[in-house]
Amino acid sequence: MDHNIAKIRHDYNLKGLHETDLDPDPLKQFKLWFNEAVKADITEANAMLLSTVFNGRPSGRIVLLKDLNQVGFSFYTNYHSKKSIEMESNPQVALTFFWKEFERQVRIEGRIEKTTAAESDEYFAVRPRGSQIGAWVSDQSEVISGREVLDDKTRELNERFRDHAVPRPPHWGGYRVTPDYIEFWQGRPSRLHDRLAYLKTVDNSWKIERLSP
Q: What is the pLDDT of residues 74-96, one digit of tens each?
A: 999 999 999 999 999 999 999 99
Residue 207 belongs to domain with CATH number:
2.30.110.10
- pLDDT (mean) for 126-135: 97
Is residue 160 in some structural domain?
no
> Average pLDDT of 14-18?
92
> Which SS3 state, helix, strand or coil, does residue 120 take?
helix
Give the H/E segment covering residue 135: helix 129-137
pLDDT at 13: 82
Task: Please report whether residue 132 resides in a domain.
Answer: no
Distance CA 164, CA 201 (A): 49
Sort 30 into a burial class: Cβ within 10 Å, 0-12 / 13-18 / 19+.
buried
pLDDT at 16 over 70: yes
pLDDT grade for 1, boundaries at 50, 70 and 90: low
Please give the pLDDT value at position 33.
98
Q: Is the pLDDT of residue 66 over 90?
A: yes
193: in domain = yes
Which residues, 6+ apart, have CB-to-CB distance to 117 below 8 Å?
A: 173
Domain for residue 206, yes or no?
A: yes
Check residue 190 and give its pLDDT. Answer: 93
Q: Is 40 part of a structural domain of the chain?
A: yes
**pTM as predicted:** 0.93
Model pLDDT, residue 3: 74
The domain of 194 spans: 5-127+169-211
* Average pLDDT, integer, range 130-154: 96
In a domain, 154, yes or no: no
Question: Tell me, what's the pLDDT at 6?
Answer: 81
Instruction: Give dist(CA 104, CA 14) in Å, integer.
Output: 10
Which range is least confidently modeled, 5-19, 47-61, 99-113, 135-149?
A: 5-19
pLDDT score for 8: 82
As a whole-number percent, the residues of the chain with pLDDT over 70 amount to 99
d(CA 121, CA 116): 9
Q: Which residues are annotated as a binding site for substrate?
A: 9-12, 66, 123, 127, 131, 191-193
Q: What average pLDDT does the segment 18-40 reach?
A: 97
Q: On the CB side of 157, how many CA atoms lie within 13 Å of its CA?
A: 21
Binding residues for FMN: 61-66, 76-77, 82-83, 105, 140-141, 185, 195
Rounded to the nearest 10 degrees, how much is the dihedral formed by the CA atoms of 178, 183, 187, 190?
-150
Q: Which of 129, 155, 160, 191 is catalytic?
A: 191
Instruction: Specify the number of domains making up the chain.
Output: 1
Please tell me whether residue 77 adopts helix, strand or coil conformation.
Answer: strand
Q: Is residue 136 part of a domain?
A: no
Please confirm, yes or no, whether 111 is among the known catalytic residues: no
Rounded alpha-carbon distances, angstroms, from residue 150 to 82, 132, 158: 18, 14, 12
What are the pLDDT digits (tens) for 173-211?
A: 999 999 999 999 999 999 999 999 999 999 999 999 999
**Binding site members:** 9-12, 61-66, 76-77, 82-83, 105, 123, 127, 131, 140-141, 185, 191-193, 195
**Own/partner pairs for 119-127, CB < 8 Å, 24+ apart?**
119/67, 119/74, 119/174, 120/76, 120/168, 120/172, 120/173, 120/174, 121/168, 123/66, 123/67, 123/76, 123/174, 124/76, 124/168, 124/172, 124/173, 125/165, 125/168
Task: Please state, rounded to an integer, the average pLDDT across all residues of the chain.
Answer: 96
Higher-confidence position of 18 and 7: 18
Distances (CA, A) of 85 to 38, 82, 91, 202: 31, 5, 10, 30
